[in-house]
Amino acid sequence: MSMEIKILGPGCPKCKTLEKVTREAVAELGLQAEISKEEDIIKIMSYGIMHTPGLVINGKVVLSGQVPSLNQVKEILIKNN
């Protein structure tokens, strides 16, 4: 089953970094995942996060307001797979 991953953020450098690290983690773990970006601030706010970037896996916010390391993202993906 494929995971649905969303990167929440208006396109700031931290948001871009989170997307890059998430794509690397998915590739390294060999996961099947659909990765998309949500840049619409109204839609981002609907997830209830106060600080971007945000990471959403299968509709659940798993991280917000920080840029995790590659290993942290891997741990999050494994836990939420």
> For position 33, what pLDDT does the model report?
97
What pTM value is reported for the model? 0.94
Q: Does pLDDT of 1 surpass 80?
A: no
Q: Which domains does the chain have, with CATH numbers?
A: 3-65 (3.40.30.10)
pLDDT per residue as tens digits for the range 27-59: 999 999 999 999 999 999 999 998 999 999 999
Q: Which residues are known catalytic residues?
A: 12, 15
State residue 10's pLDDT score.
93
Question: What does DSSP say about strands 60-64 and 54-57: parallel, antiparallel, or unpaired?
Answer: antiparallel
Give the orientation angle of helix 70-79 with respect to helix 13-29, to 10 degrees: 60
**Unique residue bearing structure tokens 């106060």:** 50
* Average pLDDT of the residues of the chain: 96
